[in-house]
Structure 1
Amino acid sequence: MHTVTLKLQPLTAAAFAPYGDVLEVSERNQHYPINAGLTERHHQLARVDVSDAGGYPIINIFRSQPVTLPFRVRQMERHPLGSQSLTMLSGNPYVVVVGRAGELKPLQLQAFFALPHQGVNYHKGTWHHYCLCLQRTCDFLVVDRGGPGHNCDEVTIDPELNIYIEAGITP
């Protein structure tokens, strides 16, 4: 049996770039005032990529139960026909586990600690774990792909491989 520990790292645009986009207010964003100056628009933080095979964008809410760290990663998923965006609605930190698109390589997974004001947009084909909220039940706003075609590949991690997310960063 082989054990791997994923160290949580802060969710930053640079560190997350191989997997997708970080959705957050930042001076690095293109931004400008709208609505008579009462609102600042942070423009085009991610591109919704869902049109393959006749797909169309849909908006969902995922209600997730909290997990405790250390947490064992037992499965991963990817969406080969479209991107998927998750934004925390419950004001809670959460964990993002990802792997590069292509063949799943469990020993190369990365774990990120996301703050409540951050969302993520997984690029098409990026391997990711389902929602891992901390502390309490959380709701995520999810922009996803609807339409024909198979758009969710799920893989179970070899039971001889123990991959744990450690509690290195705390809220």
Structure 2
Amino acid sequence: MAILSIEPLTRQAFAPFGEVVETEGLTPLSINQGYAERYNELATIDVGAEGGQINISWFVASARPAPIAIRLMERHPLGSQLFMPLNGGDWLVVVCTDPHTRSSYRALAAKGNQGVNYARNCWHHPLLVLKDASSFLVVDRKGGGDNLEEYWLDETMQLDLRTAAS
């Protein structure tokens, strides 16, 4: 069984797969008479294929038993998919450029203040959280067309959770 090391989620590491949604390093716009700060253009929502529309959802995810096995990858050919944690808990992201090529897989440790926007057609694992009842705001596509493609791995991979804290 292949073991997948986990590296920190950064804009650079995730760039081939989409966008990291975070405010670090950005300058906010002061609004509401100075009582609030607004961060603009954090992600590009791409849902217009085949007449799609933006869908905003609330997901509540459960932790998978350790060791975490990677058996399934999915992608959305008609739109992007954004996940933003709401509980502040750290979570995991697994992506690849080609699900048939093991060397293309990356596992990334996301902080509780980081979201991701998977680009259209980005292969990724379904939501992976470290604590039960982890809530996420999700922005993705609704509408006609087949917007889900799944790939079941021939050989399961396993995440090396010891590397998640590095």
Length, aligned pairs only:
164
In the alignment, which residue of structure 1 is the partner of 2:160?
166
Query: Which of 136, 149, 152 is 2:148 aligned to?
Result: 152
Within a 5 Å distance, the mapping from 1:54-69 to structure 2 comes to 54-69=51-66
**Whole-angstrom CA distance in 2 between matches of 1:69 and 1:114:** 18
Offset of residue 170 of structure 1 = 3.1
In the alignment, which residue of structure 1 is the partner of 2:116?
120
TM-score for the superposition, normalised by structure 1: 0.90
Change beyond 3 A, Cα 1:52–1:140:
same
Aligned AA (2:93)? V
User: Is 1:104 aligned with 2:76?
Assistant: no
Identity %: 38
Aligned AA (2:157)? I
User: Is 1:38 aligned with 2:35?
Assistant: yes
**Whole-angstrom CA distance in 2 between matches of 1:39 and 1:18:** 33
Structure 1 unaligned segments of length 5 or more: list them.
Answer: none
Query: Which of 125, 140, 145 is 1:129 aligned to?
Result: 125
**Whole-angstrom CA distance in 2 between matches of 1:157 and 1:38:** 50
Offset of residue 30 of structure 1 = 5.1
Question: Following superposition, which runs of at least 4 residues in structure 1 exceed 4 angstroms of deviation?
Answer: none
Structure 2 unaligned segments of length 5 or more: list them.
Answer: none
Offset of residue 39 of structure 1 = 1.8
Change beyond 3 A, Cα 1:30–1:106:
farther
**Whole-angstrom CA distance in 1 between matches of 2:129 and 2:141:** 22
Over the aligned positions, Cα root-mean-square deviation in angstroms equals 1.6
Offset of residue 95 of structure 1 = 0.6
Contact map agreement 1:20 1:120 (CA 8 A) in 2: yes
User: Is 1:7 aligned with 2:5?
Assistant: yes
TM-score for the superposition, normalised by structure 2: 0.92
Offset of residue 38 of structure 1 = 1.9
Contact map agreement 2:85 2:136 (CA 8 A) in 1: yes
Q: Deviations over 1:98-144 (max 9, x none)?
A: 112xx533401100001111110000000011111003221111101
**Whole-angstrom CA distance in 2 between matches of 1:35 and 1:106:** 50
Contact map agreement 2:99 2:153 (CA 8 A) in 1: no
Q: Deviations over 1:20-49 (max 9, x none)?
A: 11111112x353222222222211011100
SS at match of 1:14: helix
**Whole-angstrom CA distance in 1 between matches of 2:99 and 2:61:** 24
**Whole-angstrom CA distance in 1 between matches of 2:69 and 2:101:** 12
